[in-house]
Amino acid sequence: MATASAPMTSLLSLLYRSFPRAVPSTSIDLDLQKVSPQIFPSYVYSDVEQGELEQWLVTIATATESFAKEDSAAISEFLTKLNKHLASRTTLLGSKPSVVDIAVYAVLGPVVEKWSADERTGENGYHHIVRYIDFVQNAPLFALKIPSEEKIAIDVNDVKVVPKAAEPPKEEKGKQKKEKKKATGQGGEKNLVVGRGKNVNEAETATTAAPDGGEPVATGAVQPSAREKKEKKAKQPKQQKQPAAPAAPLSPSLIDLRVGHILRAVNHPNADSLYVSTINCGDAPGTDNTSVDEETGLTVRTVCSGLNGLVPLEEMQGRKIVAVCNLKPVTMRGIKSAAMVLAASPKSDDAHAGPVELVTPPADAQAGERVTFEGWSTGEPEKVLNPKKKVWETFQPGFTTTEGLEVAFDSSQVPQLAEKEGEASTAAAAAAPAVGKLITKSGGLCTVKSLKGAVVR
């Protein structure tokens, strides 16, 4: 279906500006069904989802005509349907982005901008549409290139009336009820046992002569004897318990430190103290918690960092950093952060007022190159650090900077390394220097600008 069904000027302009590779400026008559996989190549759309998108394109085309004709009844019906649909979904497909979401934004953006506070989030307001419009224009998931002055001004904290929680669809309710009845033994078919009387033992042994004088015929349900049960149970082989995997030696090498390349950084749309950075950490395509950068085609991570106001935004652009890549991802004011940027600050900075300096690897270090401390490079980092084990919290107090401005690990600041928790960890601690410098796999030192004896985190 061509974009003629949606506002051509605003939609095409947005697509040209945001996705120049997938939608070149020479494109005039686009088939939106085919554009989604091009602008969101890391997502696969099933036949069912393609059908849903086609239906929404028809609905949007009809709604566009209704807005043009100022048909209030049809407009109200469309908005109510869309608001209800989005009550339990982040995007039209649930969580996957599509070009149809951008088409809805192009249609409804100017409309939502003119709504009053009550129309937005009042008792009968379209809360979910307002949240959705704000998400589409700001989320890295869509990566729309919209200048701040052109964005719809939405205060996500300005909610007049909190909407009720969305009810699950009727078919889902019915399914839940059936499962509940099945679990409690109610409402299902009763299991009937033919020939069983009040006295089970009698039923098991009762017999009657066959009409032709042959072998007796059992009239009750014959149960297996205790001996048969015992023999059957004895025949089943016992499952051998697998020995527990040996614990990895206690070492800062459990932390996945890598060279990262910040492609770009922007202010977080919902938090004044945060930046949102797009960082190449050398991940393979398809790695968990990564996406494909539209401009470069690289596999990247989205990272939120509390550096706004401490590090100038221009210093966050196109530079190399050291990233902690195996902390459990966290959602920070609506945006999922999949790593942490390592930075230094004075030990006396309890109020987090700065100054703050980013840890800098050698200029020729490659994105994704592993970074370890001297004497602590053996062993592989865990895939994801278990928050309950507090590995990061255990070793981070030893992260510091030297008089020569090198980043280093001071093992004397980690009491657990002095405890004898096993021969492997004890041997590792004995072989390591008291202060090991942070170096890349290729041998380059990681440094800071001017902070000596600093805290690094």
pLDDT tens for each residue of 79-137: 999 999 998 888 999 888 998 999 899 899 899 999 998 899 888 889 899 999 999 99
Q: Are 250 and 417 a contacting pair, CB within 8 Å?
A: yes
* Cα 85 from chain centroid (whole Å): 22
| Amino acid letter, 182 | K
Q: Check residue 423 and give its pLDDT.
A: 43
Confidence of residue 1 (pLDDT cuts 50, 70, 90): very low
Helices (H), 167-291: 170-184, 200-205, 226-235
In the numeric block, the tokens 């062993």 are attached to: 379
Give the tens place of pLDDT for each residue, 136-147: 999 888 889 888
Q: Would you state the structure tokens that stand for residue 133, as one six-digit string?
A: 């419009």
CA nearest neighbour of 106 among 60, 71, 65? 60
Q: Are 446 and 373 in contact (CB under 8 A)?
A: no
How many Cα neighbours within 13 Å face the side chain of 51? 3
Tell me which residue has tokens 């020479």. Answer: 26
State the pLDDT at residue 360: 97
Q: Is the pLDDT of residue 370 over 90?
A: yes
User: Residue 210 has what pLDDT?
Assistant: 44
pLDDT at 385: 94
Query: Can you give the pTM of this predicted structure?
Result: 0.49
Pairwise CA distance, residues 247 & 388, whole Å: 15
9, pLDDT greater than 50: yes
Contact 454, 400 (CB under 8 A): yes
Q: Could you tell me which residue, 421 or 105, shows the higher pLDDT?
A: 105
CB neighbours of residue 200 within 10 Å: 13
Higher per-residue confidence, 230 vs 260:
260
Mean pLDDT of the chain: 80
At the topology level of CATH, where does 3-150 sit?
A: Glutathione S-transferase Yfyf (Class Pi); Chain A, domain 2 (1.20.1050)
For range 202-219, the mean pLDDT: 43
Choose among 260, 261, 266, 451: nearest CA to 357: 451
Q: What local confidence, expressed as pLDDT, does residue 191 receive?
A: 42
**Residue 224: what pLDDT?**
54
Comparing 228 with 22, which gets the higher pLDDT? 22
Identify the pLDDT of residue 181: 53
Q: Give one DSSP letter per residue of 85-121, joined into a string.
A: HHTT-SBTTBS---HHHHHHHHHHHHHHHH--HHHHH
Q: Which of 22-26, 59-63, 66-70, 373-377 has the lowest mean pLDDT?
A: 22-26
410 three-state secondary structure = strand
Nearest to 134 by CA among 148, 119, 122, 151: 151
Rounded Cα distance, 309 and 73, in Å:
48
Give pLDDT, residue 353. Answer: 75
Please count the residues of the chain.
457
Whole-angstrom Cα distance, residue 431 to residue 415?
Answer: 17
Q: Which residues contact 147 (CB under 8 A, 6 or more apart)?
A: none
Q: What single DSSP character describes residue 188?
A: S
Consecutive H or E run containing 15: helix 8-18
Domain ranges of the chain: 3-150, 252-456
**End-to-end C-alpha distance for the chain, whole angstroms:** 51
How many of the other CB atoms lie within 10 Å of CB of 420?
Answer: 8
Overall average pLDDT of the 372-387 stretch: 92
**What is the distance between the alpha carbons of residues 310 and 316, in angstroms, rounded to a whole number?**
11
Q: What residue has token string 């091009």? A: 38
Report helix, strand or coil for 231: helix
Nearest of 342, 348, 306 to residue 452 by alpha carbon: 348
Count CB-CB contacts under 10 A for residue 345.
19
SS3 57: helix
Under the banding of pLDDT at 50, 70 and 90, the label for residue 30 is: low
CATH topology for 252-456?
OB fold (Dihydrolipoamide Acetyltransferase, E2P) (2.40.50)
Burial status of residue 164 (CB atoms within 10 A of its CB: 0-12, 13-18, 19 or more): exposed
Residue identified by tokens 């009698």 is 202
What's the whole-number mean pLDDT along residues 171-184?
Answer: 51
- Report the pLDDT value the prediction gives residue 433, as an integer from 0 to 100: 78
**Non-local CB neighbours of 277 within 8 Å, separated by 6+ positions:** 262, 264, 265, 302, 303, 304, 305, 316, 341
Paired strand residues for 300? 291
Give 249 or 324, the one with higher predicted confidence.
324
Could you tell me the pLDDT band of residue 25, with boundaries at 50, 70 and 90?
low
Please check whether residue 129 is in contact with residue 137, taking contact to mean a CB–CB distance below 8 angstroms. no
**Contact between residue 15 and residue 145 where contact means Cβ atoms under 8 Å apart:** no
Peptide bond into 355 cis (omega under 30): yes
pLDDT on residue 22: 78
Residue in the block written with tokens 């109610």: 186
The answer to whether 92 touches 100, Cβ cutoff 8 Å, is: yes
